[in-house]
Amino acid sequence: AASFTLAGQNNYTGDTTVSAGKLSLSGESNIEKSGNVRLNRDAALDISATTNGAMVNNLTGDEGSHVVLGDRLLTVNSLADSVFSGEISGNGSLIKKGQGDMTLDGINSYQGITRIDQGNLRINSDQSLGGGNKNNSDLIMNGGGLKIFGSFASDRDVYFNADGEISVDKDMSSSWNKIHTGDYKFTKSGEGELIVRNGGDASEISLMNGALTLINLNMNSEKQDALLNVNNGVLNIIGGDVSAKNDLIHITGDSTINLENVSIKSSGNGMRLSDNVQSTLSLRNQYTDMPILV
């Protein structure tokens, strides 16, 4: 198949479509002003020879299309919703910007991190986020959201550099290694189930609906707000240490809370319910400094 290389600066604003063969970018070359970038089946975009990687707008690709990163960074600016069903490969990383949703619908093999700065990234498998090991292929929530529409287990850690939301579709279950929220708020939404298997740390978690299971997670909050905010759904906390300066759990909707083998310390109320809320609390095994429930 034919190959075409762009080695200079490009200012055209029309769409870029690779119908067949390979389009390569070299040196400082870029196509970031191009309105949309589309790859047909068996077509490829290669940014491995660029100096600092590349940014593309509204990347779409058929099954069988390819993006070759090499060691470079690909930034996708999603100005509208788009679906990429091909493969992203190489040792590089992926950054998602723009307010539109980007769906990664294929099996990717890139080895670097995935960072979501804006909008939502939609995935249906762990391989949507590449094939790297858990030491260098973490997911970083940097202001955007993750939407999960498949069931899978991932060995990746999830880091929050800003408040972030993870949504799991109905009848889907997704498990991850650890989460690290720092001082930021982690929100779980969607009617499906999200599981964190091996702990991590968190300072504020909100469950909007569905199920959230946290295993051996250390939660410590100095904030005035509650450490755990539950709107609707099932919250399971198994193991770990939980410490809150103010209320431990604030429940605003019909919910079920299951605590097992959890060490709890709170200067405020253990559980605070809003008016007209029905909630079930289940306690199993040992607890320390369990505060009064109101």
Start-to-end C-alpha separation, the chain: 70
Give me the pLDDT at residue 294, please.
46
Kindly report the length of the chain: 294
Structure tokens at 56: 């593309």
In order along its 294 residues, the chain shows pLDDT tens digits of 789 999 988 999 999 999 999 999 999 999 999 999 999 999 999 999 999 999 999 999 999 999 999 999 999 999 999 999 999 999 999 999 999 999 999 999 999 999 999 999 999 999 999 997 666 799 999 999 999 999 999 999 999 999 999 999 999 999 999 999 999 999 999 999 999 999 999 989 999 999 999 999 998 877 656 688 899 999 999 998 888 777 778 888 889 988 888 877 766 656 666 656 666 767 676 555 555 444
Q: Residue 128: what pLDDT?
A: 97
Q: Domain residue spans in the chain?
A: 1-137, 146-294
- HEC-encoded secondary structure of the chain: CCEEEECCCCCCCCCEEECCCEEEEEECCCCCCCCCEEECCCCEEEEEEECCCEEEECEEECCCCEEECCCCEEEEECCCCEEECCEEECCCEEEEECCCEEEECCCCCCCCCEEECCCEEEECCHHHHCCCCCCCCCEEECCCEEEECCCEECCCEEEECCCEEEEECCCCEEEECEEECCCCEEEEECCCEEEECCCEEECEEEECCCEEEEECEEEEECCCCCCEEECCEEEEEECCEEEECCCCEEECCCEEEEEECCEEEECCCCEEECCCCCEEEEEECCCCCCCCEC
pTM of the model: 0.93
pLDDT of 208: 97
pLDDT number for residue 2: 86
Whole-angstrom Cα distance, residue 129 to residue 235? 27
Listing from the earlier edge strand, what are the strands of the sheet with 200-202? Answer: 54-57, 73-77, 93-97, 114-116, 139-141, 157-160, 178-180, 200-202, 217-221, 241-244, 263-266
pLDDT attached to residue 135: 66
